Amino acid sequence: MNRTAYLFDDIYLEHDTGWGHPEKPERLVKIHKKISSSPYFSDLIKIKTSLPDIKCIEAIHSPDYIQRVKREIESGISYLDSMDTVVCIKSYDVALYAVGGCINMCDAIMRGEAVNGFCVIRPPGHHAEKNYAAGFCIFNNIAIAARYLQKTYKLKNIAIIDWDVHHGNGTQHSFEDDNSILYISLHQFPHYPGTGSKYEKGTGRGVGYTQNFPMNHSAGDEEYLFLFENQIIPALNTFKPEFILISAGFDAHKSDPLSSIRLSTNIFYTFTRMLMSVAKNHSHGRIIGFLEGGYNVSVLPDCVDMVFKAFLEY
C-alpha cells in the first residue's frame, strides 16, 4: 500500500515575486523536477489542491485581515505589509490554494489514504501573523492545518516542529497561550524576525508549550542532533502528539544564501526519521512536512528528497 502523499500544483508558480527575490517559483520547479523524476514518484499518492473554506483560515487570521489581503492584492499593490512580502495580482488566489492543498493533505491522511506526506507549496506561511503578512508569508499554512485537524477530527495534542532557519513568529503567536499545540523551533539567533529567544515559552496555560532553541551562527549537524536527541524528542514523547507537523524550511543548509547555519543535506533525513519514531509511537505514524524556506535552488530539491526518502521507509 502506498503510504506517502505529495502535494504540488502549477498554480503555486503563479505567485510572482519578481526578479531577484529569493522566494521564487523556480524553487518549486526544481523540487518538482527532482521528485517527479525519482524512482519512487509513481508510488506517491498525489494530492490535488482546491479552494479552502474561508472559515479554516479565520481560525488563525482575522476576517478583517483576510478581506484586506484580498482587497489590497486585487488593487494591484506590489508589497503586502512589508517590503519582504512581494505580491502580484494572483497572489491572493495562490495563497488560498496553498492552504486548500494543505487541508486536502490533512484529510487524506486522516481518512487513511496515506500515513505521511509533504506539501510543496508557496507562498510559505510560518511568519504570517493574525493580522499581518511578513517574511514572504501571507497565510500561515501550518497553523491553519493544525487548527483544522483539531476542529474537524477532534484531535487534542498536535506538535509543530519548525527547523526553518528563521523563527516562526506567526506560528508561535498563534498558539502561545494554548497547551494543546506544542511548538518547537530551532533557528539562527539573532536573525530575522528577531523573535524566538529561549525565554519565550508561551503565556497563560500555554507556558512550556512553546520551546525555542536559538542556534548560534555556524552551528551544524552536531549541535542540532544533540538538541534533537536530548531535548526535542524527549519533549515530544512526553507530550504524546496525535499528529506531527513540520515547518520544513531548508535555509539552515550550509550553502543557503540567507543564513549562517551549517547543516548538511543528509541531516534532514535524520531529523525526519527521528520525528517518525515519535509519530509511530503516538500518532499512528501521521506526519506532514510543509515547505517553508530554502533558497539555494541547487540543493533545495535534494533536501526535500531526503524527507521523502525517510517518509517512504514507514
Q: What is the CATH number of the domain that holds 111?
A: 3.40.800.20
Q: Which among 127, 167, 191, 282 is annotated as catalytic?
A: 127
Closest CA to 242 of 141, 120, 160: 160
Residues 149, 31: Cα–Cα separation, whole Å: 27
> pLDDT tens per residue, the chain (314 residues)?
579 999 999 999 999 999 999 999 999 999 999 999 999 999 999 999 999 999 999 999 999 999 999 999 999 999 999 999 999 999 999 999 999 999 999 999 999 999 999 999 999 999 999 999 999 999 999 999 999 999 999 999 999 999 999 999 999 999 999 999 999 999 999 999 999 999 999 999 999 999 999 999 999 999 999 999 999 999 999 999 999 999 999 999 999 999 999 999 999 999 999 999 999 999 999 999 999 999 999 999 999 999 999 999 99
Residues 246, 184: Cα–Cα separation, whole Å: 10
Residues 308, 76: Cα–Cα separation, whole Å: 38
3-state secondary structure of 47: strand
Q: What is the pLDDT of residue 225?
A: 98
Cell of 267: 541531516
3-state secondary structure of 68: helix
Q: What is the pLDDT of residue 219?
A: 98
Residues 163, 186: Cα–Cα separation, whole Å: 5
Q: What is the pLDDT of residue 241?
A: 98
Residues 117, 158: Cα–Cα separation, whole Å: 16
Q: What is the pLDDT of residue 79?
A: 97
Phi, psi of 227 (to 5 degrees): -70, -40
Residues 118, 180: Cα–Cα separation, whole Å: 23
The verdict on whether 127 is a catalytic residue reads: yes
Q: What is the pLDDT of residue 1?
A: 57
What total number of domains does the chain contain?
Answer: 1
What is the extent of the structural domain holding 137?
Answer: 4-311
Closest CA to 8 of 49, 50, 58: 49
Closest CA to 76 of 90, 95, 97, 96: 90
